[in-house]
């Protein structure tokens, strides 16, 4: 698999202009932390050999607490990796068991204690809206996270995927269903707590100290181009979206024959407009009405102005000059608001 990944990296070099600089390298999806240090270095070296990489590139690896032993963290610290994204989810045993996580609460605490000694740039994931989680337990989760000193926290509402143990327990009445009211309460606590702690709420699910916003995620929200390598990976070049096949063996076989195992979708103007609305409203940068007119045309701008009026009246959106932003009241509803601004019937 490592050789297939590196071959794809080489084969896709022509997709990047000579002047384009790689600002972020992100190892995510599945369990990339299971890669050996030598395999990780081989992949990173291949990127450096084939692309122009920024001097202050952000290189992130996703990991779960049960993968991050002291030896693993110290080993990663000796590589070019300079940012960890750790799937803590909760510091409480009952929450982790309910979500069927592989790690326990002590492992979450231990890995974070060691990681903060080796890495300055760390992000952790926390889940809210968990059935049975009181407001006090959620506050304690946030307190523990903040006391650890991490400069970035991503937090998401619990979603129940079909055909999982959790969905089965809810259907059988063993566990209470996920409630929007509970998630809203936890969300409000999250925003107030993080802002009071000096974190900037720069995207709907992300909070960072100054200088610690995720470069990888920010690039996506700001519509920058990205290249996805590996099975199921997605890419975007401003005009097209592509995705690799999911099947590992077919992926490897295709690359052994120097073929790119992917599908490509050409994006219409409406596709690009809708994506800009969706990503822009989730961030502190908002949506520029001038950009809509310049990039998509006056018809799109006028449609947007018509659709936003009721949300302005309800104080869910506001205009700061030319920029459309979501109010604090509208944050939890931002995805629904965005969908109301989507346009479906133009080319």
- How do residues 21-48 score in pLDDT, each as one tens digit? 999 999 987 677 778 899 999 999 999 9
Residue 122 exposed, middle or buried by CB count within 10 Å (0-12, 13-18, 19+): buried
Can you tell me the mean pLDDT for 285-293? 95
Phi, psi (degrees; rounded to nearest 5) at 204 = -45, -40
- Residue 3 domain flag: no
Q: Which tokens is 138 given?
A: 């959620």
Residue 18 has a pLDDT of 81
Can you tell me the mean pLDDT for 281-287? 93
Residues 62 and 192 in one domain: yes
Residue 347 has a pLDDT of 46
Closest CA to 277 of 193, 345, 341: 341
Domain region containing 140: 21-221
Select from 181, 200, 221 the last residue of a domain: 221
Q: What confidence tens digit (pLDDT) does each residue in 153-182 have?
A: 999 988 766 655 555 555 655 555 556 788
Q: How many domains does the chain have?
A: 2
CATH number at residue 210: 3.30.750.200
Residues 193 and 306 in one domain: no
98 contacts: CB under 8 Å, gap ≥ 6: 130, 131, 132, 166, 175
- Residue 63 domain flag: yes
- Model confidence at 100, pLDDT cuts 50, 70, 90, reads confident
- Residue 14 domain flag: no
Residue 263 has a pLDDT of 93
- Residue 269 domain flag: no
> Mean pLDDT, the chain, as a whole number?
90
pTM: 0.89
151 has pLDDT over 80: yes
Residues 143 and 291 in one domain: no
Q: In terms of C-beta distances under 8 Å and separation of at least 24 residues, what long-range contacts does 217-223 make, across chains too?
A: 219/23, 219/24, 220/279, 221/279, 221/280, 221/282, 221/283, 221/285, 222/279, 222/283, 222/285, 223/275, 223/276, 223/279
């Amino acid at each position: 698999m490592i050789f297939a990944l590196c071959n794809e990296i080489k084969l896709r070099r022509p997709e990047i202009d000579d002047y384009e600089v790689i600002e972020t390298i992100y190892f995510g999806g599945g369990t990339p932390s299971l890669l050996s240090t030598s395999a990780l270095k081989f992949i990173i070296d291949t990127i450096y050999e084939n692309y122009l990489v920024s001097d202050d590139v952000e290189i992130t690896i996703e990991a779960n607490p049960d993968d991050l032993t002291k030896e693993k963290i110290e080993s990663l610290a000796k590589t070019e990796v300079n940012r960890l994204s750790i799937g803590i989810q909760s510091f409480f045993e009952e929450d982790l068991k309910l979500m069927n996580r592989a790690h326990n609460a002590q492992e979450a605490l231990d890995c974070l204690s060691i990681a903060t000694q080796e890495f300055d740039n760390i992000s952790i994931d926390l889940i809210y809206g968990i059935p049975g989680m009181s407001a006090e337990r959620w506050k304690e989760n946030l307190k523990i996270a903040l006391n650890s000193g991490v400069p970035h926290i991503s937090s998401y509402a619990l979603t129940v995927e079909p055909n999982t143990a959790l969905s089965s327990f809810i259907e059988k009445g063993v566990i209470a269903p996920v409630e929007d009211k509970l998630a809203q309460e936890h969300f409000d606590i999250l925003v107030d707590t993080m802002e009071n702690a000096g974190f900037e709420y720069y995207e709907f699910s992300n909070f960072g100290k100054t200088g610690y916003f995720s470069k990888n995620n920010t690039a996506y929200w700001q519509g920058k181009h990205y290249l996805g390598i590996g099975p199921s990976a997605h890419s975007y070049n401003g005009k097209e979206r592509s995705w690799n096949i999911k099947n590992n063996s077919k992926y490897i076989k295709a690359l052994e024959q120097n073929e790119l195992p992917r599908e490509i979708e050409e994006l219409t103007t409406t596709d690009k407009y809708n994506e800009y609305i969706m990503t822009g409203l989730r961030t502190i940068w908002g949506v520029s009405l001038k950009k809509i007119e310049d990039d998509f045309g006056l018809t799109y701008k006028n449609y947007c102005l018509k659709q936003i009026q009721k949300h302005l009246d309800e104080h869910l959106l506001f205009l700061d000059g030319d920029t459309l932003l979501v109010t604090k009241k509208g944050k939890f509803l931002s995805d629904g608001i965005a969908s109301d601004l989507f346009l479906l019937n133009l080319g």
